[in-house]
Structure 1
Amino acid sequence: MGRNTRKRRSPLATKVIAGAAALAVGGGGLVWANFYASAHESGPSHNRTRSAGAQVATIQCPDVGQKLRKVPRGARAGVDRELAQLDKQITEAYARLASTRQAQAGDASYVQNAILGPLKSKRTAALDRIGTNIRRVGGNAPQGLDRFAGCRGMGVDQPNDGNAGNGQNDGGQGEDDGQGQNGGQGQDGGQDGGQNQGDNGNGAAGPFAEDFVDINDVQPGSRDLENGFAANGDGGSQGSFTAVCGVNENNLFNSDNLIVAPGVDNGAHHTHDYVGNQDNDAFSSDEDLANAETSCQNQGDKSTYYWPVLRLQDGTQEFDAGDLGGGAEGNVGKILKASQAEIKFVGNQQSDVVAMPKFLRIITGDAKAFTNGVANANSSFSCTGFEDRQVTDKYVLCPEGSQVVRTSNFQSCWDGQNIDSANHRDHVAFVQQDGSCPNGFQAIPQLQVRLVYDVPAPTVENGQVQNPYAVDGFPEQLHKPITDHNDFINVMDENLMNEVVDCINSGEDCQ
């Protein structure tokens, strides 16, 4: 199914995590390392015994990209490449974590000595190169970047306090780099720590039974994130504009991310669906985007709308089963194409909206929210017929005849100057509680993306989930639903953008 599109490939190793993935014949399909195996397993999961050294489920590192608020334009390309290198280093370290469970079980210091220590050294070098890139163009590199070098172990059920990456405490200095209470390997790592979760029957890195909830058990209006509420209401600008762009009928997939990692092959480490612009990969320039074909009915809309694919972990060998970004990084199973992809722009509760600038980039949600905390999270799962019930940190189990719904309501306030920012967030903002924009920001059309899927309901029995579905993600995020996210680059021509604004401000519903 599909095609993995890139115009040019950088000479990266084709299998940087060889040994962490293995092809298996049978129902499991592509089996990524069994994360919870150890030399001491015997019988069913509830009878297994494991040493404390096997209790680290994943790796938590400071998200350096979110810390860089002022990067000179001339340094951004080099900095983005180094940030992508940091992601690659985490992926490689996580692969070692996943494939060395037996060694960890026999040596309580193994994770620190063989995985977290070397990772810290590599990150220190990359952080130094970030500073060099900034200074090379006359900028002032942030002081003390090396405090973000250390990472720590984290249990699968271990709650993140939202302070990931705040330097000394979460950066993991000295012995706390993966050992003892801060490392998630001692008692505070939790006996759960992923150890009694099983492996979904297919060896994949999540999701687990705890990641699912019956939609009937969700209370209406209980969504618990501050981000992502609809911007329009009873006042202000009440119109809408619907972009009809299909559901990726052209099977355009790749694991790049032009916004976060331009010029970097496999910068996302997971596969995206693309609708709209048909020339979006890591190497696309603004000119490429402007000259591309589009899947949108209105040919004036060459915007690119993209999101992580949803997969059914049923053992299917997809086209990317052996590729980075796909099965080689734990994103396994059948890609589920949305039956509906509803793309709509709406207004602001308090005011008229102004035109978006061409090539404005917006990311909503956080692909690393499991380890980063929920400050930038914006996930929302529901079921058709139950959409007054939205869930942020669970996948939903829908009753027969109901379909899974993923919803993304984007930031709709713009700083009036920039099409992007160093951390890809500061140039846009969500509306405040009263629906208005923060000081210094002005209202733009709010992009809302509603994706509907026919998903066979997973079976959850005795704490195990069979044939689960999950969004693609960075390997160390364990396919947690809180990591769902969505991306957009505005490539509407001026006439169409003005039409969008006029429809919204006049209260009309257009397409």
Structure 2
Amino acid sequence: MRTQYRRPVRLALAVAVLAATGALTATFVSSGGKGTADAATSLAQFVPIQQVKPNVVRPRTGPDASTGRFTVDCGTNGNGKFSPDNPVAQPGIKNGAEHLHDFVGNLAITANSSDADLDASGTTCRNGDKSSYFWPVVRIDRSVRPSGAQVQQALAGTSGTVACPSVRTRLPAVPVGAKAAVDRQLGDLDRLDRSADRRILATRGIDTRLNNEVLQSLRTRRAAILAQISDTIRAAGGKRPAGLVSLTECDISYDGIHAGLHSEHSASTTSTRSATAQVRCPSVRDKLPGVPRTALAEVDRSLAELDRQISEANQRLVTSRGQGGANFIDNAILGPLKAKRTAVLDRIAIAIGRNGTRPQGLDSLAGCTLGQDAGGGQATGQPSAAPSGTAAPLPEPQGRNLELPNNTGGIVRPQSVLIEYRGNPVSKVVPMPKFLRELTGDAKPTSRGPANARATWTCAGFTDRLSDRYPICPAGRSVQRVQDFPGCWDGKNIDSANHRGHVAFADKTTGACPAGFVAIPQLRITISYQIPRDVQLNGQYALDSFPEENHNPFSDHNDFINVNSAQTMNRIATCINRAKNCR
């Protein structure tokens, strides 16, 4: 998870190590390879698909099986909606992934989108499905990349840091009677996060056991405090905060390498503005005083309206790409947005002032920018433990290839993206709840362990075998990623503290859901790429990844938020249960 703040100690360590391994600095930048070294990410990470034994188990179907299939055509990201945000695993965190994702479906989604914002969005899906489907991009880079040994050496001198989603900027209006207590509880979160951060910062390199121990303890204790905050606001007459469970999970970042490379990466690009820009506005929720009970509903409606305005502006950035002249964005998007925000902020001040002290200076929060946050704004996701000293933020994706440090080269556009909802071999399926969050795979098997990682790689015509290495395919066959999502649901929750506990995978041998879970339409996304055979043989294509993974193919992952209407989801479930193939 990312933050505007960078720890000076960590940065100094990274720079010192990078100075000792100069090749690492040079080769993180696209076309930076010098000499005749092999251009492979690592040939050990590639395998001819014929050498992978068939390993896909297809459970036997029973009398109550649901064997239908519903497919959705959402395109291949022809609109160019790329982002380093991860709204499922890292809500509220700007640039949280440190790598670029392809997005199809929902046009407005960012790390800060509310359910209402998602529901109001446009979509790339032909059937009107507003769900969001997103995965890390694949790139071809013929320059010399750092070896695994170089990255390990750099990481050995880098200390991790704990980053947690911001809670202050995601709360509803806080009643006057709850303000002092909520502020104390937010302070408890700060202290908790700082304590966890100190434990991680004291260790150089990756200690998976320590990471999991710290994150599990932090998750449990943050969940308790978030529940207290929710109860305090509700008891004082406020609206119970929605989605706080999604803000429970923290992460451990090893972006010291990236921070050390920031200046060189920026110098290597020609773009001064993020190619995948998002609107960044100052946060409002954390700037408000306690709100009188009589004004709570009106202030909450106004806060939701501010969110919607940002969401609509972000969607317009996607759908209007290439339109107008140099001042189009300022005149057609940012200018009107400031005017609308000014009006809403004035309404908030008036509503609070009727029965309380009118807040001053809210109008200063009206102006928004692109790219970096405006005034510590709406999407920082900074950890509570941010130190007083700061270093430069990670760069936005830049240049013609939307590059990030160590995630360089040309993006390979998918040849096709097949989105399927499938059945269960032993039972009927029930409709997914709207706004269900799911993820599959793990972006960080190196720093968190491989328990949640999944093999996804194969070639067209070889889908009976999945590899945790990049495949080298026979001539004329596409490289494929086959990503299966959990097909079982706990029947109650649309998210959980670790973003996994509310869903589960069916038993791979029997197909049955675990006790307490019911079968839902199981999502499978198959992404196909036409990659030149010489690029495959030379190991020159790779997945965008976190720094410690260094393009590890086993770090492949995919994320999903269900924004199908209830009517559409019922149609999907009915189709599957009746053994039909539908669109």
How far apart, CA to CA, are the structure 2 residues paired with 1:90 and 1:231?
Answer: 50
Aligned pairs (5 A) from 1:414-433: 414-432=489-507, 433=509
Asked whether the equivalents of residues 456 and 483 of structure 2 are also in contact (C-alpha less than 8 Å), the reply is yes
Match of 2:473 in 1: 398
Using structure 1 for the length normalisation, give the TM-score. 0.58
How far apart, CA to CA, are the structure 2 residues paired with 1:212 and 1:424?
Answer: 30
Post-superposition offset of 1:420? 0.3
CA deviations 1:421-474 (Å, max 9, x no partner) are 01100000000131111011110000000000011234588xxx46x1111111
Asked whether the equivalents of residues 91 and 476 of structure 1 are also in contact (C-alpha less than 8 Å), the reply is no
How far apart, CA to CA, are the structure 2 residues paired with 1:291 and 1:343?
Answer: 22
Match of 1:413 in 2: 488
- Structure 1 unpaired stretches of 5+: 1-82, 106-197, 224-228
Aligned pairs (5 A) from 1:3-402: 84=2, 93=10, 97=14, 100-103=17-20, 207-221=41-55, 233=61, 235=63, 236-299=65-128, 301-314=129-142, 323-324=395-396, 327-392=403-468, 394-402=469-477
How far apart, CA to CA, are the structure 2 residues paired with 1:95 and 1:354?
Answer: 53
Match of 2:342 in 1: none
Q: Which AA in structure 1 matches 2:132?
A: T
Asked whether the equivalents of residues 200 and 208 of structure 1 are also in contact (C-alpha less than 8 Å), the reply is no
Asked whether the equivalents of residues 45 and 552 of structure 2 are also in contact (C-alpha less than 8 Å), the reply is yes
Asked whether the equivalents of residues 419 and 524 of structure 2 are also in contact (C-alpha less than 8 Å), the reply is yes
In 2 relative to 1, CA 483–243 (structure 1 residues): closer, same or farther, beyond 3 Å?
A: same
Post-superposition offset of 1:263? 2.1
Post-superposition offset of 1:243? 0.7
Pair member with larger Rg: 2
In 2 relative to 1, CA 201–386 (structure 1 residues): closer, same or farther, beyond 3 Å?
A: farther
Residue of structure 1 aligned with 2:541, choices 456, 459, 469: 469
In 2 relative to 1, CA 430–268 (structure 1 residues): closer, same or farther, beyond 3 Å?
A: same
Residue of structure 1 aligned with 2:526, choices 422, 437, 450: 450
Post-superposition offset of 1:255? 0.5
1:504 aligns with 2:576: yes
Asked whether the equivalents of residues 60 and 510 of structure 2 are also in contact (C-alpha less than 8 Å), the reply is no
More strand by share: 1
In 2 relative to 1, CA 479–104 (structure 1 residues): closer, same or farther, beyond 3 Å?
A: closer
Post-superposition offset of 1:275? 0.7
How far apart, CA to CA, are the structure 2 residues paired with 1:92 and 1:425?
Answer: 33
Post-superposition offset of 1:363? 0.7
How far apart, CA to CA, are the structure 1 residues paired with 2:11 and 2:58?
Answer: 37
Asked whether the equivalents of residues 349 and 436 of structure 1 are also in contact (C-alpha less than 8 Å), the reply is yes
How far apart, CA to CA, are the structure 2 residues paired with 1:200 and 1:484?
Answer: 29
| Matched residue count | 324
Asked whether the equivalents of residues 231 and 346 of structure 1 are also in contact (C-alpha less than 8 Å), the reply is no
1:482 aligns with 2:558: no
- Structure 2 unpaired stretches of 5+: 23-31, 144-267, 276-393
Q: CA RMSD in A?
A: 3.3
Post-superposition offset of 1:230? 6.6
How far apart, CA to CA, are the structure 2 residues paired with 1:452 and 1:398?
Answer: 12
SS at match of 2:574: helix
Post-superposition offset of 1:304? 0.4
Structure 1 runs (4+) deviating above 6 angstroms are 87-92, 198-206, 229-232, 316-322
In 2 relative to 1, CA 244–307 (structure 1 residues): closer, same or farther, beyond 3 Å?
A: same
More helix by share: 2
Post-superposition offset of 1:88? 8.1
SS at match of 2:455: coil
Higher RCO structure (Cα 8 Å, ≥6 apart): 2
Match of 1:491 in 2: 563
